[in-house]
Structure 1
Amino acid sequence: MFLSPASLLFTSSIFLSIILVASSPSLMISWIGLELNTLTFIPLILITTGQQESKAAVTYFLTQTLASVLFLEGSLLLLSPLGPYIATPIILGALFIKMGAAPFHMWLPQVVEGMTWSTLFLLFTVQKVNPFLILSSLSFNHNLVVSIALISAVIGSIAGLAQSQTRLLLVFSSINHVGWMLVSMTLSFSLFLYYFLLYAILLMPLFMILKKFQVLHLNQTVNLGLSSSNQLIVFLTLLSLGGLPPFLGFLPKWMVLQGLMEAHLFFASAVLVFMSLLTLFYYLRLGISAFTLSKSLSYPTVTYTYMSSSAIFLIGISLLGFPLSMLL
């Protein structure tokens, strides 16, 4: 259903909005791109009809409308004499709402319950591109952005410890990664781009598995029925997504930490490292329950499920951290 002509049209419009924002000469054109992005993403939420989908669409619309109004107001205040002092915090607040950074993240858990896995992947990856592109073009207060990044890392790590639903667990993990992305943005745009691309690549195979088996709760991961070889590579990609060295997911975090140490931001480095350990616990819990505890169960007839070659290829990318770690 996600590959229907209407869905392909809306998805292509989302990427068109990214091109519009990336090439915009002013904040007003960027605002048009943000509105196009919002209006084309809402129909993707309503691919499947139901009460949860309708609630998620309304919540997403109201939240994004509030952020768009704040962004437009901040853009207009830039024309006033006191504009740079008043408008910039308003614009930053609007961007933080759109990207789901803490403490402006309360709309995310309410929205994800009514989304398909494909739409949820777009929300965690593609939908964050426009706010970060606009943020890279602004002259912002680095201390403010780093503070929001640390709050996102702390809330995303601690709040996720109490989650047993896979969707909510991924939500707070995404909030934690938003904190890392904000810190990387304060260092350099190329570092942010590197972190974002690797995060999307590592997140894709996990969503493919969750979508195929419709895993909504951690208890369901025991019955995935994967073969031993597939279990191993899935477990490795979970460790990579959690940032365990020397897997590929650790390399962008390593580069961010190097930049923070060179900038003498030792406290921010310590907070991010400690919170990253908590997010690694998410994926360890998911992996152990899915691939270790399942071996202790006995079934009369065991039927193994094999993943597609594309999923295995994407998961195998996590192993690239071994040779790349030797070069850094």
Structure 2
Amino acid sequence: MSNNSTKFFFFITLISGMLITISSNSWISAWMGLEINLLSFIPLMINSNNTFTTEAALKYFLIQALSSSSLLFIILSKSFIESMFSLINSSLTSIIIVTPLLMKSGAAPLHWWFPSVMEGLSWWNCFILMPMQKIAPLIFISNSIKFNQFMIMIIMMSILIGTVGGYNQISLRKILTYSSINHMAWMLIAMLMGENLWILYFMVYSLLILSVMTIVAPLQISFVNQTFFINNEAKFIKLMMFSSLLSLGGLPPFLGFLPKWLVIQHMIINWSLTMISIMVIMSLVTLYYYLRISYSSFIILSSEPNWISLFKESKNNSMIAILMTTISMLGLMISSIFINMF
């Protein structure tokens, strides 16, 4: 069996475990889907040419096994106390169930494993880890979440750690990691507003991460200083990458501002002015990560060493990157026109 066919097999089982978890009507079957998803992702993480992937896979396995065993213990304990696998919808039960799921999703303060695991993965495995591996836990968090002091603490800590943690980073993977923690707080607050809102936010976030990956993965960029030396004859590549990053940061008029705009409107209607003010201020600080990269790459340093190879990728990859960047740049305007028309 070839390496590509093996990876395809594990990717199919990963998707299958995710679908089992989402479509299950009992906690035991949901836990089984999470375990299938975990055991399918571990072989995808390991690369024989990169020793860091083995360390990342071990860390990921230990953390996910810890959270899965905690979730299973909670399910079995509650099932003995209450009716068969049907949990009473109380605040304490919500906190107990949501905590291991938050650890699986990498929300603060249960995020300590997230940056180190991301640092040891390839870019496409990072894409699987950031949006895709969060789908199943987020679905169950949305079914169990309640507006209480515990969730307010999780949201505010995710906002603060996602902002402060990436402030002085030079690794693009860690910058995207702390940005993901910041976006996790916005998705949690969107869950409290409604199911459609957080699903829209997650879809836009996944689209923007995919847009970034289609550009940085072929270039094999890992650190901020490597963006300085992107071939200056290919200014369009720099424009695509930094417009996608700024859209991920939520800068108007890019598409990334749309879900944040909707969350801000809903929170203002519900009179959550203090919390939304803090979240907006912290989101403006996160834009500093991306503005720093863009400003430095375009203006401060414009040298081009001879050992940097030209960006020569296949036509299909280039077209996908251009398409994703166009959606990222013009998505907000297209959505506004569509809403006004109908």
- Structure 1 and Structure 2 fold alike (TM over 0.5): yes
Q: Secondary structure at the match of 2:25?
A: coil
* 1:268 CA drift (Å): 1.4
- Aligned partners of 1:241 and 1:156: how far apart in 2? 14
Query: Is the CA contact (8 Å cut-off) linking 1:101 and 1:179 kept in structure 2?
Result: yes
Q: What's 1:247 paired with? A: 254
Q: Note if contact 1:248-1:321 (Cα within 8 Å) is conserved in structure 2.
A: yes
Contact 2:56 2:121 in 1 (8 A): yes
Assess, with a 3 A threshold, how the Cα gap between structure 1 residues 300 and 103 changes in structure 2: closer, same or farther: closer
Give the match for residue 15 of structure 1. 15
Q: 2:294 aligns with which of 248, 267, 287?
A: 287
User: 1:299 Cα shift?
Assistant: 5.8
**C-alpha contact 2:47 2:54 (8 A) present in aligned 1:** no
Name the % identity. 35
In the TM superposition, residue 209 of structure 1 has moved relative to its aligned partner by 1.9
TM-score by length of 2: 0.88
2:300 aligned with 1:317: no
The counterpart of 2:188, out of the listed 168, 182, 194, is 182
Does the CA-based 8 Å contact 2:246-2:287 persist in structure 1? Answer: yes
Q: Which residue of the partner structure matches residue 32 of structure 2?
A: 32
Structure 2 CA distance for partners of 1:302 and 1:168, relative to 1, 3 Å: closer
Instruction: After TM superposition, give the deviation of residue 168 of structure 1 in Å.
Output: 1.0
Is residue 2:150 matched to residue 1:140?
Answer: no
Contact 1:17 1:37 in 2 (8 A): yes
Tell me the residue number matched to 2:99: 93
1:235, 1:291 within 8 Å by CA — same for their partners in 2?
Answer: no
CA 229–264 in structure 1, closer or farther in 2 if over 3 Å, else same: same
- Could you say which residue in structure 2 is the equivalent of 1:118? 124
Q: Is the 8 A contact 1:77 1:86 kept in 2?
A: no
1:87, CA displacement in angstroms? 4.0
Between 116-125 and 49-58, the greater mean CA deviation after superposition: 49-58
CA distance 1:27–1:223, shift in 2 (3 Å): same
CA positional deviation for 1:192: 0.8
Using the TM superposition, give the Cα deviation of residue 49 of structure 1 relative to its aligned residue in structure 2, in angstroms: 4.9
Question: What is aligned with 2:281?
Answer: 274
Q: Which residue does the alignment assign to 2:175? A: 169
* Segments ≥4 residues shifted beyond 6 Å: 300-303
2:161 maps to which of 155, 166, 189 = 155
How many Å apart are 1:86 and its aligned residue? 4.8
What do you get for the CA RMSD once the two structures are aligned? 2.3
Contact 2:53/2:120 (8 A) holds in 1:
yes
1:110: how far off?
Answer: 1.7
1:117-168 deviations in Å (ceiling 9; x for gaps): 1111110010000111111222534442233122101100111001111111
Distance 1:104 1:64 in 2: 12
Q: Tell me which of 185, 197, 205 is aligned to 1:199.
A: 205
Change in Cα spacing, 1:61 to 1:292, as seen in structure 2 (3 Å) is same
Deviates more, 1:28-37 or 1:83-92: 83-92
The structural deviation recorded for 1:240 is 1.2
Give me the whole-angstrom Cα distance separating, in 1, the residues matched to 2:168 and 2:308: 32
Question: What is the rounded CA distance, in whole Å, between the counterparts of 2:42 and 2:309 in structure 1?
Answer: 39
Q: Unpaired runs of 5+ in structure 1?
A: none
Residue type of the partner of 1:292? I
Pair 88,203 (structure 1): closer, same or farther in 2 beyond 3 Å: same
What is the rounded CA distance, in whole Å, between the counterparts of 1:202 and 1:156 in structure 2?
17
In 2: Cα distance, 1:22 partner to 1:299 partner: 50
Deviating more after overlay: 179-188 vs 47-56 = 47-56
Contact 2:229 2:304 in 1 (8 A): no
- The farther-off stretch of 22-31 and 137-146 is 137-146
- Distance, in Å, in 2 between the alignment partners of 1:125 and 1:77 is 31
Give per-residue Cα distances to partners, 1:271-310, cap 9 Å, x unaligned.
110111111111112222333344x326679975366111
- Which stretch shifts more, 240-249 or 130-139? 130-139
SS in 1 for 2:72: helix
1:293–1:213 CA distance, 2 compared to 1 (3 A) = farther
Runs of 5+ consecutive residues of structure 2 not aligned to the other structure: none
Provide, for residues 64-90 of structure 1, a one-character-per-residue CA deviation record: whole Å limited to 9, x for no partner: 011011111221232326975654322
Q: Distance in 2 between matches of 1:50 and 1:323?
A: 42
Aligned partner of residue 9 in structure 2, secondary structure: helix
Aligned amino acid, residue 287 of structure 2: L
The yes-or-no answer on 1:52 pairing with 2:52 is yes
Q: Counterparts of 2:91 and 2:149 in 1: how far apart (Å)?
A: 15
Where 2:37 maps in the other structure, the secondary structure is helix
**Counterparts of 1:298 and 1:75, CA distance in 2:** 58
Kept in 2: contact 1:74–1:88 (CA 8 A):
no
Counterpart-to-counterpart distance in 2, 1:232 and 1:51: 33
Question: Which amino acid letter does the alignment assign opposite residue 152 of structure 1?
Answer: S
Distance 2:13 2:289 in 1: 34
AA of the residue aligned to 1:117: W
